[in-house]
Amino acid sequence: MSKRYLAALVATCLIGFAGLTGAAGAATPLPPPGDLAGAIVDGRASLSWSPVENSRDTVIYDVSNGQPGRVVGRSTTDEWVSINLPGRPSFSFQVVARDVRKQEGVRSDTITLYRGGRPTEPEPPTPPSEPETPPPPVEPTEPPPPTDPEEPPTEPEEPPTDPEEPPTDPTTPPAAVRDEPVDLGAAVSLARLQDPVYRETVVRYFDSITAENEMKARALQPQRGVFSFSSADQLVAFARENGKEVRGHTLFWHGANPSWISNGSFSQAEWAQLIRDHASNVVGHFAGDITSWDVLNEIVAEDGSGLRTDNPWVNGFGGDPLDAIALMFQAAHEADPAARLCINDFSVEFNRPKTEAYYRLVRDLLARGVPIDCVGFQSHLITESEGPGVSDPGGWSPTLGELTGVLQRFADLGVTVQLTEADLKTSPTPGTTEQKLAAHADMARVLAGACQAVQACTELTWWGVNDSQSWLGSGEMTLLFSDTVTDDAFTPKPAYWATRDILGGGPGGSPPVEAPAS
């Protein structure tokens, strides 16, 4: 996209209703419209816009002739606005403008709507026959950080020559039309739910919960054949009382096992029976209450060479490890046929050997008829790429295009996909706290945007609620809420509002946000 195109503050129309498709920029230009609906049907037109309402729930714009618009996505340089026209389905267009985070005041920038998608030609389309005088140049906001030299580009592109040039892989996509919304979840602790502030935050801001530790084998079967469901039952009761769905985490993992499993020595037949007993008792106990189960957690070797060798449930079984894995899923399916059964792993959100090994494992298990319904991507990531590496498998920040591509590739196997344990380390990002929070929000948009864009993505769960409870430590500012209390709950960070702006739901869209500090 050229600088002239940007300087004119061009908006690209992303039409969402029948009859208005066509090549981008191919329509005959029109003068400024008297009627927005008619102008768009006929082609493209320039118009002015300004915010007329700004609240936590929505930001509404007055577009030319008074038709209201609603923000449906936002990044540092781009904003997508949904317009409702009388007698017509709503549609969205993109506003390319500087400093879109700063919503106070009235805007009257001239923008242009086009049929179809974003123009791909390097030069702008033919200007309108009666062009308006462009507004004076707008000072650029802070340019995007430089690309890490070790990060492989997702596609060949020319390096930007102007700080006003928007990213070719924006962190916020236009709103996708979905069959059902993505649930925003959090891993929670029963002990922390006794804190009224923590409890209120979960109730007010999230759609689902995951038991952080209460459903692991050590908690549920501390002795062979002796099951203890008290704490897990209380979590499920809390979810039921507050209209939240529950993810079960996790049936079979190399960690958090009772000593009789970790140190056990059993025959293959005994291991098979232990697997059946654990799956049938646990999944059966919660049948109808838990929508998704992480049946098998973290089984792929970090270097992508094969499977891990430290999972006692798999390695104790012996023989072909796929036989043990198949038994786990089959036993869980028999205990609750309605539950969505997931395999779950980390550092598989971008293209690397471990992701390829994960894909082959899922593909091969499905080919054997194993009832895997769902593939989980833990998403323990960072806000700025340090480059890939086996020694630091989480040291990576995928682009929107890369993460979307990975999720879609797995979804094409016929499974649903979920982002299951998200958190974002901010320490690799230099600068002030405000700049770190802005980078944190940008990566949150990547997670939400990729999940929203893939129809098969049903869940985005964060591994905790507020920063001080993160397993990575409060200094990393990894989660969606700070420890500050506002209105009897923890305070949402920019990343929370960025996520809700894309996914919808919750208590509403973003409140006014000041421009990031330079």
The one-digit pLDDT tens for each residue of the chain (518 residues) are 332 222 222 232 322 222 222 223 333 333 333 333 333 332 333 344 443 333 333 333 334 333 444 433 333 333 444 444 334 333 344 443 323 333 333 333 333 333 233 323 333 333 333 333 344 443 434 433 333 333 333 333 333 333 333 333 444 444 456 888 999 999 999 999 999 999 999 999 999 999 999 999 999 999 999 999 999 999 999 999 999 999 999 999 999 999 999 999 999 999 999 999 999 999 999 999 999 999 999 999 999 999 999 999 999 999 999 999 999 999 999 999 999 999 999 999 999 999 999 999 999 999 999 999 999 999 999 987 443 333 334 457 899 999 999 999 999 999 999 999 999 998 878 888 899 999 999 999 999 999 999 999 999 999 999 999 999 887 888 999 999 999 999 999 999 999 999 999 887 544 433 333 33
pLDDT of residue 72: 37
Check whether residue 386 and residue 464 sit in a common domain.
yes
From 113, 139, 158, the end of a domain falls on 113
> Could you tell me the pTM of the whole model?
0.66
**How far does the chain reach from its first CA to its final CA, in angstroms?**
25
pLDDT of residue 152: 36
63 is in which domain, residue-wise? Answer: 3-113
Q: Is residue 197 part of a domain?
A: yes
Q: State how far the Cα of 504 lies from the Cα of 479, in Å rounded to an integer.
A: 19
Q: Is residue 72 part of a domain?
A: yes
Check whether residue 336 and residue 193 sit in a common domain.
yes
Question: Is 421 among the catalytic positions?
Answer: yes
From 83, 113, 143, the end of a domain falls on 113
pLDDT of residue 177: 65
Check whether residue 207 and residue 100 sit in a common domain.
no
Is 192 in a helix, a strand, or coil?
Answer: helix
Check whether residue 233 and residue 365 sit in a common domain.
yes
pLDDT of residue 471: 92
- The secondary structure of residue 253, as a DSSP letter, is -
Q: Is residue 128 part of a domain?
A: no
Active-site pick, 165, 245, 349, 421: 421
Q: Using alpha carbons only, give the angle 429, 145, 473 rounded to the nearest 5 degrees.
A: 15
Active-site pick, 212, 298, 349, 459: 298
Check whether residue 103 and residue 204 sit in a common domain.
no
Q: Is residue 511 part of a domain?
A: no
Q: Is residue 123 part of a domain?
A: no
pLDDT of residue 310: 96
Number of domains observed in the structure of the chain: 2
Question: Is 298 among the catalytic positions?
Answer: yes
Q: What is the CATH number of the domain that holds 360?
A: 3.20.20.80
Check whether residue 103 and residue 192 sit in a common domain.
no
From 92, 113, 134, the end of a domain falls on 113
Check whether residue 190 and residue 65 sit in a common domain.
no
DSSP letter string, 254-301: SSS--HHHHT----HHHHHHHHHHHHHHHHHHTTTT-SEEEEEES-B-
